[in-house]
Each structure stands twice: as structure tokens, then as C-alpha cells.
Structure 1
Amino acid sequence: MDNPVLESLRRRMAEIGSGSVESAGGLRADASAPSGTPTEPDIGSPVDDPEYLRAKKRAFNMLGARAHSASELRTKLVRKEHPPEVVDVLIDRLTASGLLDDADYAREFVRSRRSSRALSTKALRRELSTKGITGRDAESALAGLDDEDGVALEVARKKARSTRGLPEDTRMRRILGMLARRGFDHGVAMKAARTAIAED
């Protein structure tokens, strides 16, 4: 099942491509473009430049595979040797059209990583930073997270179950190591480890 951001992105690309005269986000439909292909808003840059068209095609392929942050997409396109100035225009256009939205991306990224990896808020903030998302978008995405102590305790309980039968100091060391790798502060980790072992 696709994640909500990727599904929304695909719907958005389809909506843009299906407009007969002018579609959402200020993108103008092009009768010569294949059905479902987003076209470009008139913001003062030629859209028939070969370098631009190559970068656009690669960007759409990347976005069709999964959602990206604006910074992440820009980095990948430049690494593929598309001219940075061309990539910057493309990123601006994709952002203006709603095909790139760092706030939405950050919220879905945090939700997914918290669910699949039970990462701490600190670890999630660090991962968002590697995607080029900081400041308001990052903090907004992190603001609605579940209680940190509760998440740490669930991680500790799972590790405690898998270490039954081992000496208590060994169990404690392994639980704390797991929590540290997930980015939990020492105080939170110690409390969760002690509780998990006592319960088990």
C-alpha cells in the first residue's frame, strides 16, 4: 500500500496533467504533452531547453518512485550532472505547483519512521536534517509525536523479552544499547530499561 504522501503526489501529478486550459497550482496545460504529464507555469524561463527537459523527466521519475524533500531531490539531480541553475528553476516550479511540499513530506516521514523504527525525537530531527528539512517544517512535524518515555518503554520491553534468561547486567546493557541506537537520552533509556526488566 502506498504511503499517503506518495499517493497524494501521484494524484496531484494526474490532476495537473488532466487540466484542459489551466490546472491547479498555476500550471498551464500543454496540448502537445502526453496525458498525465505536468506542464510548466510561465515564470520567465524557457521550458523547451533540453537540459531542463532532461532534468524534469528524471525528477518526475524520482517523484513517481517515492516522495522527496526539495533539498533531497535537488542533491540527486545535481549528482546526476544536471546543471545546478537548471535544477533550481525546476525545484522552484515543482514547489510552486505543490508537487514538492517539505511540510507534508516531513510529517509523513516522521510518522513512518516513528512507527517502523520507534526512533526518538532527537533521532528523527537528525534524520530530517539529512533530508534538508530544519526549522519550522521539522518542528511542526515533530510536535505531534507520542510521549517519548512511552516509546522508549516499548522498545525496552521488546528487548527485555528477547534477552530472558541472561544475567540482569547483560540484559540491562543490551537494552540500553538498543535505546541509545534509537537516539533516546540516557535518563529516559535507564528509566525504561529498569521498568522493562522489573515487569518481565
Structure 2
Amino acid sequence: MQPSAGARADTDADPESTARSIVLRLLTGAPRSRHQLAEALTRRGIEEAVVERVLDRFTDVGLIDDAEYAQMLVRSQLESRGLARRALAVELQRKGVGADEAEAALSTVSAEDEEQRARDLLRKRWATGARLDPEVRARRAMGMLARKGYPMGLASRLVREMVDDGAQEPWEPTVDDLD
């Protein structure tokens, strides 16, 4: 089997052209951090000096912008997955976004926004467990909020409010309940 024309072009071209092609292809599919692009180029066997030159050039012309990428990632993960600031910070770190860019992006999420998002998630989860024992229902809701990175204090307060609103016996979560 012969290599495709695109693969032949990559192997015949100089390393910078190959690196530029890879970066353009990756950025066409989805936005990415500089770190993610550097890892992809390194996996393809591109030398570190070439990687730095190509990524510097893409940064200079504005095609790579970690600050904008961090803002976009925070907005999308907050809306689509309902992640709290703590989980968003982990996600940004996993994607290789620098501390300054991550902090700036996370500062756009206020404590009030975070609490409102937690309430919305909790209402949806609460509605799906109507037939469950109240303690089981509350424990599952606490677990869901914990997995999404919400602080235990906020999660337990919101769950207690849901239990109280349902005219149930108030439930006090403990650390053992999260297991």
C-alpha cells in the first residue's frame, strides 16, 4: 500500500513545513493550547527547536492564544458540564494552560454564578430520584456535586435546602456518606 499524497508531502517537506501543516490541521479541528500543540508535534518526531519556532510564529500571528483558549474552555465546560471552579482549574492544568491565563479565566466565574449552576444541576438530579429514599437521593446528589468540583460546604447546604423544601426530615451529610 502506498502512502497518501498528504503523507508523502509531509515526509518530503522540511521539518518546519511539516510542523506548520500539523498545527494548522489540529487548529482546524478544535482550539488547542500551546502545550497540547507542542505535545502533538513532539509525538510526531519534530525537533524541539523547530517546535518552538513554529509555535512562536503561530503565537505572534494570533493563531495560538492560551488566554483566549482558557476563557473559551472555562465558558464551554461551565455550560456543558456544569463544572465548578476547582474542576475547571484542574481541566485547564491538564490542557497545559499557564497559571496566569488560568487564573484570569477562572476569575470570570463568580461565587454567585457557581452557586447558581450548582443549584441548577441539583434540581435536575433531584427530579430524577423522586422514587428513591431521601437519604440515598441526598447522598447521590452530594456525590454528583463533589465530582463536578463543588465545595462540600456549598453542596451540603444546597442538598439540605432541597431536603427541607421537600418536607423531608433534614439530612446532615457526613464524609462517610460520600463513599
| Normalised-by-shorter TM-score class | 0.7 to 0.9
Q: Check 1:134–1:193 CA distance in 2 against 1; reply closer, same or farther (3 A cut).
A: farther
1:161-176 aligned at under 5 Å gives the runs 161-176=127-142
Please list every run of 5 or more consecutive structure 1 residues that lacks an aligned counterpart in the other structure: 1-48
Structure showing the higher helix proportion among its residues:
2
Matches of 2:25 and 2:153 in 1, distance apart? 45
Query: 183, 187, 192: which is aligned to 2:153?
Result: 187
Q: Deviations over 1:153-179 (max 9, x none)?
A: 111111110100111110011001100
1:12-91 aligned at under 5 Å gives the runs 50-91=14-55
Larger deviation, residues 170-179 vs 72-81: 72-81
AA at the equivalent of 2:94 = T
How many equivalent pairs are there? 152
TM-score normalized with structure 1 length: 0.73
AA at the equivalent of 2:151 = D
Please list every run of 5 or more consecutive structure 2 residues that lacks an aligned counterpart in the other structure: 1-12, 167-179
Q: Which residue of 2 aligns with 1:144?
A: 108
AA at the equivalent of 2:64 = L
| Contact 1:110–1:141, Cα closer than 8 Å, also in 2 | yes
Q: Deviations over 1:29-57 (max 9, x none)?
A: xxxxxxxxxxxxxxxxxxxx701111111
Cα RMSD of the aligned pairs, angstroms, is: 1.3
Matches of 1:198 and 1:137 in 2, distance apart? 40
Q: Which residue of 2 aligns with 1:39?
A: none
Q: Which residue of 2 aligns with 1:28?
A: none
| Contact 1:120–1:183, Cα closer than 8 Å, also in 2 | yes
AA at the equivalent of 1:72 = Q
Identity, % of aligned positions: 34
Q: Which residue of 1 aligns with 2:173?
A: none
Shift of residue 87 of structure 1?
Answer: 0.7
| Contact 1:153–1:195, Cα closer than 8 Å, also in 2 | no
AA at the equivalent of 2:160 = R
TM-score normalized with structure 2 length: 0.81
